Amino acid sequence: MFSLTSRSTCLRSLTLSLLGTSAGLFVGGAAFGQTYGEERVAELLTDVGIEQHLEAQLPLDTTFTGVDGQAFELRSAFDGTVPVILTLNYFDCPQLCSLQLSNLAAAMGSIGLDLGTDYRVVTLSIDPNDTPARMSELRARYLVNYLDASKEAGEKRDDEQAKDGWVCLTGTKVQIDRVAETAGFGYSWVEEKQEYAHQAANILCSPSGQIMRYLEGVDPSLAGVLRLSLVEASEGKVGSLYDGIFLNCFIYDSSTGQYTPAVMQLLKVAAALTVLAVVTGFFFMKRGEAQHAVAGPEWASDSDAASASEKTS
């Protein structure tokens, strides 16, 4: 089972505490009130979590409904041109989804890549009762965050392009579960709270729909790793030469959701740069000596002529 670092653990613990506290308020106030014991908590979390299914192929033949109310086949978002960030959320989520999506939108606005041109986002609701109108509202809410963050970063964005680049979908439980199970996204309905128990992750996918990376949903430093992940997931279609060199010196650690320096590769790069510096220095030194040797006789002749002129005077 994949843990999205200590922040997710803390959030889950906080959520469980709130569930227990809310349930406890019913004691004495309602005849059927109950608290959440350890067994009930364990039962609630049995199917909740995120298991990394790296290199798994998403079921692109699944069909959902877009914000325009039209049928939308998942393969339409994976047309082989740009990487895709997949998120699984739902409209009525009381806290975690809003934290994840606002954090993602802010990070996207500051990484120097254009939503809709360099990459897409696909947000799939895990609630079969969500409607296209609700998902359209959800998209509009976080597009504002993205555009505001872009403005603060000095990045100019096209509103319509960004709108087209963020795909929000609803569907039946059967179709939702096909995607969720492929992605290793476990969630469950909590009847007592009328809410879904779930975790948060941004799932980076290749242009062809293959799962490449899992990034923690509420990591405040998400922007630092998001660009690298998109560049890597793009299969060379996004990013600069610098990004490619940077990726060669860093390795993705799936246990932390971060890129860590590849020490041996860094040493090789450092050694190569050292050799290059020595060779370059040697070249310029020899070149200087050669120029001095050529200029030497001429300088000597000029000096002799000047001395002879002074003596004649």
Three-state SS sequence of 278-311: HHHHHHHHHHHHHHHHHHHHHHHHHHHHHHHHHH
End residue of a domain, out of 217, 247, 277: 247
285/152 same-domain check? no
111/177 same-domain check? yes
Let me know how many helices (H) and strands (E) the chain has, helices first: 9, 13
Q: Are 73 and 63 in contact (CB under 8 A)?
A: yes
Q: Residue 6: which residues within 8 A CB-CB, separation 6 or more?
A: none
296/173 same-domain check? no
The boundaries of the domain holding residue 105 are 49-247
Neighbours of 306 (CB within 10 A): 9
The amino acid sitting at 11 is L
pLDDT digits (tens, 9 = 90+) for 88-133: 999 999 999 999 999 999 999 999 999 999 999 999 999 999 999 9
Pairing of strands 71-73, 63-65: antiparallel
Predicted confidence (pLDDT) at residue 27 exceeds the cutoff of 70: no
Predicted confidence (pLDDT) at residue 80 exceeds the cutoff of 80: yes
> What total of structural domains would you count in the chain?
2
What is the mean predicted confidence (pLDDT) over 241-270? 47
Beta bridge partners of 121: 85, 166
CA distance 45 to 12: 10
Q: Could you give the maximum distance between any two Cα atoms of the chain, in Å?
A: 127
Position 225 in a domain = yes
Q: Of 50, 56, 62, which is closest to residue 178 (Cα–Cα)?
A: 62
End residue of a domain, out of 193, 215, 247: 247
Least trusted range by pLDDT, from 68-82, 100-114, 212-226: 212-226
Q: Of 175, 192, 147, which is closest to residue 33 (Cα–Cα)?
A: 192
CA distance 207 to 55: 12
The amino acid sitting at 51 is E
pLDDT digits (tens, 9 = 90+) for 244-256: 434 344 444 555 5
Position 162 in a domain = yes
pLDDT of residue 250: 46
Pairing of strands 49-50, 185-186: antiparallel
Tokens 């002529």 found at: 305
What is the mean predicted confidence (pLDDT) over 230-238? 70
304/186 same-domain check? no
Position 231 in a domain = yes
CA distance 232 to 204: 9
Question: Residues of the chain with pLDDT > 90: what percent?
Answer: 53
Position 24 in a domain = no
pTM: 0.67
Tokens 């740069």 found at: 273
- Residue bearing the bigger pLDDT, 311 or 230: 230
pLDDT of residue 286: 72
Tell me the H-state helices in the chain.
Answer: 5-24, 38-44, 96-108, 132-152, 159-165, 173-183, 222-233, 241-248, 263-312
pLDDT of residue 46: 75
Residue 115 is given by DSSP the state B
Neighbours of 138 (CB within 10 A): 23
180/280 same-domain check? no
119/216 same-domain check? yes
